[in-house]
Amino acid sequence: MRYSSKLFLSLIILISTFSKIYSQKFTIADVKSYAFPNEMVTSLQGDKIALAINEEGSRNVYVGEAPSFKLRKLTNFDADNGQEITSISISSDGKWVVFTLGGEHGGNWDVSKASNPSSSQIPSKVRVCQMLFAGGPLRVISEGDFPKISSDGEVIAFIKDDQPWVCHLDTVKGDDFLEIPRQLVSTRGKVSDLQWSPVKNQLAFTVNRGTYSFVGHTNLGKELDSEIINWVAPGFYKDSSPRWSPDGSQIAFIRTAASGGAVDSLSQRKPNLWSIQISNLKDKLSTTLWSSPNTQAGTLPPTDGHANLMFPNKQLLTFTSYHDGWPHIYSISTKGGQATLLTPGNFMVEHLSLSADAKSILFDGNFGNDPLDYHRRHIGKVSVDKANMSFVTSGAGNEWSAKSLAGSDTYAYLGSTAQKGPQVYLKNGNQAGSSLTANLYPTKFPEKALVTPTSVEFKSLDGLTIYGQVFDNGDGKTNKPAVVFVHGGPSRQMLLGWHYSDYYSNAYALNQYLAQEGFVVLSVNYRLGIGYGFSFQHPANFLVAPEYWDVKAAGEWLAKQPNVNPKKIGLWGGSYGGYLTAMGLGKDSKLFAAGVDIHGVHDWLGYSQMQLFGDENKKAPDAEWAANLISKASPISYTSSWTSPVLFIHGDDDRNVNFQQTIDLMKRLEKKKVKMESMVIVDDNHHWAKHQNSITVLEATAEFLKNQLMK
Ligand SMILES: CC(=O)N[C@@H](C)C(=O)N[C@@H](C)C(=O)N[C@@H](C)C(=O)O
C-alpha cells in the first residue's frame, strides 16, 4: 500500500511540476536562474580543472579531475553578496587552489577595491585565498589581488597596494598559518602582471610609472631585501606583458610609445603601434623581434587579451594582431624574421589558451561553415608553428574559453545555445560535448520556453550593413510594440544565443523575457563593435557618433516590420548602450517612444576628463573644434528635443561610468519637464554584482517598457 501511495504522490508532483513549466509564463527571476560559469583554468598536467560558478548570487569555486571531471563545490559561499571570484589557479603539483575573493574586475578604475553591494556595515576586503584541491578549510592569505603560484608550487606572489608580496603556500599547520606574507619589492609606480620564471624562483612584472613603464625581474631571495630589481632594457617607452622563455633565460615583452609630446589633432585617430621585444637578460638590451605596421590596423589589438603574447618553446613566440583587418594568431622565431599567420580568414580570434604540451593553441572565434557563424563563437585549434587550423566545435550554439586536458583530444569549454544557458562541457575526440553543470540549473529555468533569435541585417543611414538578432514569441500578432536593445562596450558583439559575458547574459535574459511578454526585440550590433573586422570596429569616419546612425536605422527597420506598431518602439541599453539610448531619446523622440538608460554616458567631456584646454603647450591644436564635436556627440546637448519618457538606473559604486553622469543629465531634463523615472542601486557597481539587484533592475526595465509601450 505504502509503495503505491508514494508512487501516486510522486506522479502528482511530477505532473504539477511539468504543467507549471509549460503553462505558466516565466518570470525574470526564472530566466535569470542560470548557473553562470567563468574563470575556468586547468592544472599543468591537464588532469584537473577549477572555475567559478555563480548560482543566483552564490559564487563558488568548483573543481573536477580526470577522468570524469565531475564538478565538486570546493568553497561554501552561499550569500548573494556580490563577492566575485577571479584569478583562480591550481599549483603545479595539483595540491592547492588559489583565487581572489572580491573586487570589481570589470571596472575601469579601483578594480582591487572592496565591492559592497550588500551595504554591509564593514565591507569585506579583496582577499587572496587558498584551499586544498582535495577540500578543507579556506585560508585567507592576505588582503591582495592577482595571485600567481610559482612554477615549483611552493610560493604565491600577489599584488597588495600596487606592490608584489610573497608567501609560502605550504605553511599551514592545522588551522594555524606559520608564515606571514612579506612585501617582496617596494618600487615607485604600480606593479602588475606578475610572471614566475618556469625554472627558478624569479618573478617578472610590469612597473607603471605614469606616462611610461618598465619590465623588471627579481629573485626570491632568502633574506628580506637581499636582492635587487633587474630592469629589462629600460627606455622611454611603455613596456609591459613580460613572458619568460621555457628555460628562464629570456624575457619577451610588448613595447609601445610613452605618452607625451605635442598634443595631436583630435580629428585623427592615432594607432597605438607596438613591437615585440626579447632580452637575454644578461645585458640591459632587447632586440625587436616584430613591429606592427604603421597603419590604423597596426594598433595594439583592442580585443580580449590584446597581444596575447605566449612563449611556447625556446624557438618561438605567438601573439595576436589585427593588422590584416581581423584579430589573428601569429608565430615568430625568437631569431626574428617573418611572422607566420596561423589563422587566416575573415573572422576574429577571441579567447586563447596554450595546450598543456605547449604544441597547440585553442581559441574561439566567429568562424565556421555556416554564414550565421559570423554571429556565434566556436572553438578552433592550431599548432603553434604551422597554419593547420581545425574546427573543434561547430553548429548552432556558442562555445568559448576552451582548455586542453590530459589526453590529446580532450577539452573542457564553456558553451550555450539559444535556449541552454552558459554551461561547462567536456569533449572527448569527436564526441559531442557533455555538460558538467546542467545539474546546477534549477527546474524553474525556462529552457524550453525560450525563443531562438533570428539573424537580420539592414543598411545604416550611410549604407553600412548592420547585423542584429530579433527575438519574437511568434504569436502571429500584428501591431506589436518593439524594443531596440543596444549593447555597451562598445567593443562587443551580441551573439545568436546566450553570451559568454555575465553582463550580456543578463541582457539576453531580459530580451527573452520581453519577447515572451509580446515585444519584438532587435539587438543591434552597431559599428565600433567586434566580430566584423577592423574597419567596422574602427571606422575611418568616427566623428560625432556615427554608431548612433546604426541604432536609428534599427528603429526604422522595426518601424517597417508588418507586425510592429511604429508608434510603440522603445530603446534599452546599459553603459555605452545607455549612452546610445539617451542619444536616441534626445535626437529622435518621434521614432523612439520611450527608453531605459542604465548607467549611460551623457557628457563625453566629463566622462573622459578630456583636458582640452589645459595649459597652452598641452592644448590640442583643434581643441575648440574638438570640444564642439564632443558636445554634439553627448546626450546633454539634446535635452531640448527630448520628449519621450525615460527611466534612468545607476549603481552609485559604478567604476566604469560615474554616477554623476546620470545626476547631471536628469537635472538638465528636469528643466525641460521631460517625464522621467529613476532607480538608484546603492553600493552596487557597473555589473550588478548582487544577483538580486540585477533582477530588480531588469524587472524595473521591463515594467517601464510595458507601461510606456503596451498600454
Ligand atoms: C574605458 C572604457 O570605456 N571601457 C569600457 C570597457 C567601458 O567601461 N565601457 C562602458 C561604457 C560599458 O559599456 N561597459 C560595459 C557594459 C561593457 O560592455 O564593457
For residue range 289-323, list pLDDT tens digits in order. Answer: 999 999 999 999 998 999 999 999 999 999 999 99
Residue 443 predicted with pLDDT over 50: yes
Question: Cell digits for 615?
Answer: 595649459
Measure the CA–CA gap between 112 and 61, rounded to whole angstroms: 19
Lowest-pLDDT range of 216-230, 373-387, 545-559: 216-230
* pLDDT value for 617: 63
Q: What does the longest C-alpha to C-alpha distance in the chain come to?
A: 94
Q: Indicate whether residue 687 lines ligand 1 (CB < 6 A).
A: no
Asked if residue 204 lies in contact with residue 195, where contact means CB atoms within 8 angstroms, the answer is: yes
Q: Each residue of 616-640: pLDDT tens digit? A: 667 778 888 888 889 999 999 999 9
Candidate of 304, 654, 656, 657 to mutate for ligand 1, largest count of ligand atoms within 8 Å of Cβ: 656
Measure the CA–CA gap between 70 and 63, rounded to whole angstroms: 8
Higher pLDDT, 660 or 176: 660
Q: Indicate whether residue 574 lines ligand 1 (CB < 6 A).
A: yes
Q: Indicate whether residue 526 lines ligand 1 (CB < 6 A).
A: no
Question: Alpha carbon of 550 to those of 154, 155, 580, 693: distances in Å?
Answer: 53, 51, 10, 30
Q: Each residue of 517-576: pLDDT tens digit? A: 999 999 999 999 999 999 999 998 888 889 999 999 999 999 999 999 999 999 999 999
Residue 198 predicted with pLDDT over 70: yes
* pLDDT value for 172: 60
> Could you give the dihedral angle defined by the CA atoms of residues 572, 526, 498 and 662, in that order, rounded to the nearest 10 degrees?
-30
Asked if residue 74 lies in contact with residue 131, where contact means CB atoms within 8 angstroms, the answer is: yes
**Helices assigned H by DSSP within 41-167:** none
Beta strands in 575-672 (DSSP E): 594-598, 646-651
- Cα of 575 vs centre of ligand 1, distance in Å, is 6
Q: Does domain 27-183 have CATH number 2.120.10.30?
A: yes
Question: Mean pLDDT across the stretch 41-48?
Answer: 96
- Closest atom of ligand 1 to CA, residue 578: 13
- Cα of 159 vs centre of ligand 1, distance in Å, is 24
Closest CA to 30 of 38, 40, 20: 20
Higher pLDDT, 414 or 629: 414
Measure the CA–CA gap between 219 and 227, rounded to whole angstroms: 6
* pLDDT value for 11: 61
Q: Each residue of 90-128: pLDDT tens digit? A: 999 999 999 999 999 999 999 999 999 999 999 999 999
ipTM of the complex: 0.93
Q: Are strands 48-55 and 35-42 parallel, antiparallel or unpaired?
A: antiparallel
Residue 1 pLDDT level (bands cut at 50, 70, 90) = very low
Question: Mean pLDDT across the stretch 171-185?
Answer: 74
Fold of 453-709: Rossmann fold (3.40.50)
Q: Indicate whether residue 504 lines ligand 1 (CB < 6 A).
A: no
Asked if residue 322 lies in contact with residue 267, where contact means CB atoms within 8 angstroms, the answer is: no
Question: Mean pLDDT across the stretch 599-612?
Answer: 84
Q: Indicate whether residue 575 lines ligand 1 (CB < 6 A).
A: yes
* pLDDT value for 284: 83
* Highest mean pLDDT of the ranges 18-22, 300-304, 693-697: 693-697
Q: Would you tell me how many other CB atoms lie within 10 Å of the CB of residue 640?
A: 10
Q: Each residue of 141-161: pLDDT tens digit? A: 999 999 999 999 999 999 999
Measure the CA–CA gap between 563 and 560, rounded to whole angstroms: 9
Name the one residue in this structure whose C-alpha cell is 534612468. Answer: 648
Q: Each residue of 312-362: pLDDT tens digit? A: 999 999 999 999 999 999 999 999 999 999 999 999 999 999 998 999 999
Measure the CA–CA gap between 148 and 165, rounded to whole angstroms: 11
- Cα of 581 vs centre of ligand 1, distance in Å, is 15
Residue 13 predicted with pLDDT over 90: no
Q: What is the mean pLDDT of the chain?
A: 94
* pLDDT value for 2: 47
* pLDDT value for 556: 98
| Residue nearest ligand 1's atom 16 by CA | 488
Residue 613 pLDDT level (bands cut at 50, 70, 90) = low
Question: Cell digits for 20?
Answer: 507549471
Domains in the chain: boundaries: 27-183, 453-709
Q: Indicate whether residue 576 lines ligand 1 (CB < 6 A).
A: yes
- Cα of 452 vs centre of ligand 1, distance in Å, is 27
Query: What's CA 114's distance to the chain center, in Å?
Result: 19
